[in-house]
């Protein structure tokens, strides 16, 4: 928020209001925020918010027919499918925002399809899924079905949230994180005494590795994933910023989609980090162009 406000001021954008919302707030608090939006002269609302929090406010705005604002969203809600219904679209249709980009993780779908359940203590995570998907019983204590599972059933042709990898944006962050730690540990184990990075050229004790020692090597990680994404960290420990720019659009049959219209990639050369195809964007009110905003209202 502080960074955004600083940059907005430099760009000559006036922030009219900055309001905080949270799902446990009273309804009166949300109604007060609705009144602020109704009486403000801002035409753009920037929402750094969680989807569940924002959903409450959007419904109140809908009930009072408060529409016509250009919404700008953070990754916390801009591709949150739970929000994508006709009621909410009436309020935030044409919204634009930054989202964690989708990714194809090679071999992930095949890996998931090859999993099998286990009844060993500490490794029973798939048991409940298995019994629900195949309508059978794995454990003798379960009363869900009379039919017994063999454990050899296949997830390959099932349709569940567990097997759906069409949107692997969040999974991709886990994928990169695991690889980053693996690369760090690999370098730690390859250290030679007398040439190590710690006191007097020492290396980590393999039998008693400390987290700060792994962190030292993690800061030096620099690799490219199988799908071509560069993974490294800056001096503050932040990864390279990479976001998809998405736009709330509605197809002719009424389906609401999060259309990708560009990308922000900080690993690109200066001046080429931000790419957006404005000709494919649909703004508030179904417009194909948007006027420059002079004032904004911030929700967080």
For the whole model, what pTM was predicted?
0.72
Distance CA 73, CA 231 (A): 25
- Look at residue 265 and tell me whether its pLDDT is greater than 60: yes
68: left (phi > 0), else alpha (psi -120 to 50), else beta? Answer: left
Residue 167 sits at the vertex; the CA angle it makes with 24 and 175, to the nearest 5 degrees, is: 95
Of residues 210 and 135, more confidence is placed in 210
- pLDDT tens per residue, range 111-142: 888 888 888 888 888 888 888 888 888 865 55
> What is the C-alpha separation between 141 and 126, in angstroms, rounded?
16
70: helix, strand or coil: strand
Q: Domain 1-100+244-262+277-299's class? A: alpha beta
Provide the pLDDT for residue 161: 76
Reported as a pLDDT band with limits 50, 70 and 90, residue 164 is: confident
Is 213 in contact with 205 (CB distance < 8 Å)?
no
Q: Which segments of the chain belong to CATH 3.40.50.2300?
A: 1-100+244-262+277-299
> What's the rounded Cα separation, in Å, for the pair 175 and 148?
34
pLDDT tens for each residue of 70-120:
999 998 899 888 888 899 999 999 999 999 888 888 888 888 888 888 888
pLDDT in tens, 8-63: 888 888 888 888 888 899 999 999 999 999 998 888 999 988 898 999 999 999 99
pLDDT of residue 122: 82
Kindly state the percentage of the chain with pLDDT values over 70: 96
């Amino acid at each position: 928020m502080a960074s955004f406000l600083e940059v907005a001021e430099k760009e000559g954008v006036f922030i009219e209001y900055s309001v905080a919302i949270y799902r446990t707030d009273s309804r009166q608090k949300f109604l007060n925020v609705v009144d602020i939006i109704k009486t403000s002269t801002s035409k753009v609302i920037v929402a750094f918010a969680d989807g569940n929090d924002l959903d409450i406010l959007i419904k109140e705005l809908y009930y009072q027919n408060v529409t016509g604002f250009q919404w700008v969203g953070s990754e916390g809600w801009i591709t949150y499918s739970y929000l994508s219904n006709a009621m909410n679209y009436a309020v935030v249709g044409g919204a634009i925002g930054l989202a964690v980009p989708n990714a194809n993780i090679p071999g992930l779908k095949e890996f998931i399809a090859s999993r099998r359940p286990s009844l060993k203590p500490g490794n029973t995570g798939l048991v409940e899924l298995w019994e629900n998907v195949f309508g059978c019983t794995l454990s003798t204590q379960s009363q869900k079905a009379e039919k017994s599972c063999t454990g050899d059933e296949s997830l390959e042709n099932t349709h569940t949230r567990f097997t759906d990898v069409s949107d692997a944006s969040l999974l991709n962050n886990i994928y990169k994180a695991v690889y980053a730690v693996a690369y760090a540990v690999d370098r730690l184990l390859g250290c030679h005494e007398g040439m190590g990075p710690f006191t007097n050229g020492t290396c980590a004790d393999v039998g008693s590795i400390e987290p700060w020692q792994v962190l030292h090597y993690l800061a030096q990680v620099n690799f490219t994933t199988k799908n071509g994404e560069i993974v490294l960290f800056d001096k503050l420990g932040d990864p390279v910023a990479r976001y998809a720019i998405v736009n709330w659009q509605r197809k002719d049959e009424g389906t609401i989609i999060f259309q990708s219209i560009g990308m922000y990639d900080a690993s690109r050369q200066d001046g080429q980090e931000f790419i957006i195809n404005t000709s494919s964007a649909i703004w508030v009110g179904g417009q194909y162009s948007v006027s420059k905003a002079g004032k904004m209202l911030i929700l967080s």
